[in-house]
């Protein structure tokens, strides 16, 4: 009797379980059938093991796949669509997300507003990328009222989050401008004077030969580019995951390198209002900047909604996908929290219900539209497959082809389609669906009906 049969190399027993191995060895010597019975029921031996981290991970993964809902308790983040991440207003992390938005805009204002003119596009672009990286999985990393409002209207962000975000973003920009006044020599003397302080967007920043309409147009074009990048990389599915902040920073860099020479490239209402509140600068052109940015936010949202549809928080989408009433759908859009009847912990957000939306989208788009105008394949001389023929009036026949050294080429009775049967490896081969017009006389050799 070898050692493996005696249980010395039982894969369910750890090397350190010497006593258990010895017991099994003695039992096997006394009664060889007992060992066979124990091998047939390995669950008893498996219970004696201490669960490892890998075991718990596998169990958690199994529970997640088997569960209809993913109860993450409001901490669920989508690493693919970073700008759609948010915390439930009823969770403890909501205050943290608000603090991150405030701090992100504050430091973005300090770094971007005090940069050297020759390096301003690079400094602002990389500063934005850094702080979006910091805030993405906590608050969504908006750092821009135009981004927040656009995503909220499109249905990717809750309304209440957006309102509070915008207030904190503007407050962060004001505090950032005030801190800049204390860091830059002589800037403190400009507070409240109307002078051009660090980060101001006023007539001294605008090109001398540019008109007000051109200022509006440049801000609209550049902000549209930025927000379109946000939608494409950080909102759309699939997005670009961890590369999204870098892509958004590059969008700002490209825009600032182009239109920055004419307007200073604000692209952010908070960056305009913050210095204006501290230094009283640019009060006569603030409307041009903010108006162009607001129009860009609406246009970017409209283009994305037309191409990819509205977001999961949109009341019309949520009502159908989650089978909500209109009051429940509006409540979800405003708060970002599903109705209490769908919750388990009270901290869920929309990311916990993505499986339901996936089923909804699949059911909505299960049948692809077929063109009735052009037959593009016919233009290239391509023949349709046998299954493409209309067989609705007859029942298709399915055959299983067995191993054959060589199988002939078949032609259906109408002479329109050739069916090649080639030998595969193995005893049994694939299932071939034949058009009903093939009679039994034309069946390939060595086949039987499935």
Per-residue confidence (pLDDT) for residue 400, from 0 to 100: 45
Residue labelled with tokens 């890998």: 54
Strand, helix or coil at 334?
helix
pLDDT digits (tens, 9 = 90+) for 126-146: 999 999 999 988 888 999 999
Write the CA distances from 8 to 27, 77, 186, integer angstroms.
12, 47, 82
- Which of 82-91, 265-274, 416-425 has the highest average model confidence (pLDDT)? 265-274
d(CA 148, CA 55): 41
Per-residue confidence (pLDDT) for residue 234, from 0 to 100: 86
Per-residue confidence (pLDDT) for residue 79, from 0 to 100: 61
Q: Which residues contact 207 (CB under 8 A, 6 or more apart)?
A: 261, 262, 263
Contact 131, 137 (CB under 8 A): no
Eight-class DSSP state of 330 = H
Nearest Cα residue to 138 out of 178, 190, 175, 102:
102
pTM of the predicted protein model: 0.65
pLDDT digits (tens, 9 = 90+) for 316-366: 989 988 989 999 999 999 988 888 888 887 777 777 787 888 888 777 754
Inform me whether the pLDDT recorded for 86 exceeds 70. yes
The CATH architecture to which 82-308 belongs is: Up-down Bundle (1.20)
**Which ranges of 202-283 does DSSP label H, i.e. alpha helix?**
212-230, 244-263, 269-279
d(CA 349, CA 164): 17
Pairing assessment for the beta strands 447-449 and 418-419 based on DSSP bridges: unpaired
Give the residue extent of every domain in the chain.
1-37, 82-308, 386-449
Eight-class DSSP state of 78 = -
Report the DSSP beta bridge partners of residue 431.
400
* The two structure tokens encoding residue 254: 């490209």
Q: What is the DSSP string of 347-392?
A: ---GGGGHHHHHHHHHHHTSS----SS--HHHHTTPPPPGGGS--T
Per-residue confidence (pLDDT) for residue 327, from 0 to 100: 93
Q: How confident is the model at residue 413 (pLDDT cuts 50, 70, 90)?
A: very low
Inform me whether the pLDDT recorded for 427 exceeds 90. no
d(CA 430, CA 169): 61
pLDDT digits (tens, 9 = 90+) for 250-285: 999 999 999 999 999 999 999 999 999 999 999 999
Nearest Cα residue to 297 out of 134, 161, 412, 157:
157
């Amino acid at each position: 009797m070898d050692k493996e049969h005696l249980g010395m190399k039982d894969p369910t027993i750890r090397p350190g379980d010497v006593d258990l191995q010895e017991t099994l060895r003695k039992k096997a010597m006394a009664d060889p059938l007992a060992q066979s019975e124990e091998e047939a029921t390995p669950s008893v031996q498996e219970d004696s093991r201490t669960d490892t981290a890998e075991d718990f991970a596998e169990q958690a993964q199994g529970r997640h796949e088997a569960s209809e809902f993913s109860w993450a308790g409001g901490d669920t983040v989508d690493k693919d669509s970073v700008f759609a991440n948010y915390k439930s207003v009823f969770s403890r992390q909501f205050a943290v997300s608000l603090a991150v938005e405030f701090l992100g805009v504050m430091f973005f204002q300090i770094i971007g507003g005090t940069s050297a003119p020759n390096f301003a596009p690079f400094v602002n672009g990389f500063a934005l990328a850094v702080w979006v990286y910091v805030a993405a999985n906590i608050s969504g990393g908006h750092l821009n009222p135009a981004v927040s409002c656009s995503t909220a209207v499109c249905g990717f962000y809750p309304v209440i989050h957006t309102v509070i975000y915008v207030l904190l973003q503007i407050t962060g920009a004001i505090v950032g401008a005030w801190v800049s006044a204390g860091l830059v020599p002589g800037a403190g003397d400009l507070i409240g004077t109307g002078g051009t302080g660090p980060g101001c967007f006023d007539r001294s920043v605008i090109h001398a030969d540019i008109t007000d309409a051109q200022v509006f147009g440049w801000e609209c074009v550049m902000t549209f580019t930025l927000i379109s990048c946000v939608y494409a990389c950080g909102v759309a599915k699939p997005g670009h995951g961890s590369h999204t902040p870098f892509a958004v920073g590059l969008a700002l860099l490209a825009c600032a390198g182009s239109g920055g020479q004419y307007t200073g490239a604000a692209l952010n209402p908070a960056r305009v209002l913050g210095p204006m509140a501290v230094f009283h600068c640019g009060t006569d052109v603030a409307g041009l900047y903010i108006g162009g940015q607001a129009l860009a936010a609406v246009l970017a949202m409209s283009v994305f909604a037309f191409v990819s549809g509205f977001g999961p928080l949109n009341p019309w989408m949520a009502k159908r996908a989650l089978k909500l009433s209109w009051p429940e759908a509006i409540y979800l859009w405003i708060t970002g929290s599903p109705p209490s009847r769908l919750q388990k912990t009270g901290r869920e957000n929309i990311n916990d219900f993505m499986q339901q939306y996936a089923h909804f989208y699949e059911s909505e788009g299960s049948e692809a539209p077929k063109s009735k105008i052009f037959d593009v394949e016919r233009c290239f001389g391509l023949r349709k497959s046998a299954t493409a023929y209309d067989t609705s009036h007859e029942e298709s026949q399915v055959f299983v082809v067995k191993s054959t050294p060589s199988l002939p080429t078949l032609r259906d009775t109408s002479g329109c389609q050739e069916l090649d049967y080639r030998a595969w490896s193995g005893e049994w081969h694939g299932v071939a669906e034949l058009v009903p017009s093939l009679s039994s006389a034309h069946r390939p050799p060595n086949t039987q009906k499935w």
